[in-house]
Amino acid sequence: MAAPRLQTSMITAPAGRPSPTASASRSSIPQQQPANNPKNCFSWFLPGDIARGHGEALSIREMVEHAIATFAADRRKVFVTGLSAGGGMASVMLAAYPEVFAGGAIIAGVPYGCATNVQQAFEAMFTEQRHAAQALGDRVRAASRHRGPWPKISVWHGTNDPIVKPFNGEDIIRQWTNVHGLSDSPSYQELIGSHTRRIWNDATGKALIEAFSISGMAHGVPLATTTGGESCGAAGAFFLDVGVSSTHHIARFWRLHESLVEMPRAAEPVSAPIQIPIDGHAFVIAGAAAEGSHSSAEASLDEGEERQTRYPLDPNVVIAAAFKAAGLPVPEIPTAPPGATPRVAPGPIVTAALKAAGLVQS
């Protein structure tokens, strides 16, 4: 967890606008400072930084509150995700502030409360502790006065991870199945290619926990760069093309795909996405139609005419805004031809990430 690019963490929330003419997500992207940690990693193991109301956990909580208040985001739909040390910090936020988050995704991370100093942190990463599920769950219950409902959890880990050993993923599962009062055994499991997905449902059949075991994957975020409609991102250091897109699966698990804009076909065009940086910590991407355009378009539709279409956000705009919000070099994204379906431009994004990591010159 030494490299800066291993501490990625993000919080997202769908728009809270009541209008049916637009829907969007806001994302806050916390970033560590060298003054707090010389490796730029979150301090997911220090008691003063992982306790509710203290340190880094409190700072991130305040960022979330700022974004929610500024953009009138839906408090029922706030989510957190992170990779590596960011995954550890996602565990922290889910335990310390469970009432804030509807769900969390922990990628190559560690369970909450598994270490209290640097030595214990490395032991937790590399040496299996064999803690009982009850003890793991008690750590979450002791982190706040909250007693439910609890966030949905998505766990991702590579079977060949040499940095954060795979047993950590299993401990995260046992921690949260205990908190949710679920069986140790999954409700069902399925194969996605060579990868295994397990699901734990509650008594009503609602999926509360999912866990992906990515066969042969080392330490990083699972990508699918050539898999049809789920093609996303470009392979690189800690971004691993394994044929399954964690981004797509997590979004579906959280049902974020249901936030796509839906408008009558004859309505006024949605304006270009708007980017509003907030103190370098959060941003919003939103589409807005002219006031009253929805109702006027409804009246102009011919009977039997297809009434709905989708206006997806340009992923390059979202990614560029995320980089800017985090204080990182902004990718130089080429302008897409008018009417073209937005697709990720991996080259500029990878270049900007390498600059941020100090691996290439500006």
- For residues 345 and 333, give the distance between their C-alpha atoms in angstroms, rounded to a whole number: 7
Catalytic-residue membership of 84? yes
3-class DSSP string for 228-273: HHHCECCCECCEEECCCCHHHHHHHHCCHHHHCCEECCCCCCCCCC
- The answer to whether 65 and 41 have CB atoms below 8 angstroms apart is no
Residue 261 in contact with residue 311, Cβ under 8 Å? yes
Residue 69, by phi and psi: left (phi above 0), alpha (psi -120 to 50) or beta?
alpha
- Cα dist from 151 to 154, 321, 343, whole Å: 10, 27, 31
Q: Are strands 207-214 and 188-192 parallel, antiparallel or unpaired?
A: unpaired
Return phi, psi of residue 336, to 5°. Answer: -80, 145
Active-site hit among 28, 43, 84, 154:
84
Residue 315's SS3 state is helix
How many whole angstroms separate alpha carbon 130 and alpha carbon 158? 19
User: Which SS3 state, helix, strand or coil, does residue 185 take?
Assistant: coil
Containing 211, the helix (H) or strand (E) segment is strand 207-214
φ, ψ at 119 (rounded to 5°)? -60, -45
Q: Please enumerate in sequence order all residues whose Cβ is within 8 A of that of 200, keeping only pairs 6 or more positions apart, or say none.
A: 177, 180, 182, 183, 186, 187, 207, 208, 209, 210
Phi, psi for residue 261 in degrees, rounded to 5:
-65, 135
What Cα–Cα distance (Å) separates residue 102 from each residue in 99, 157, 256, 281, 289? 8, 21, 12, 21, 29
The set of catalytic residues is: 84
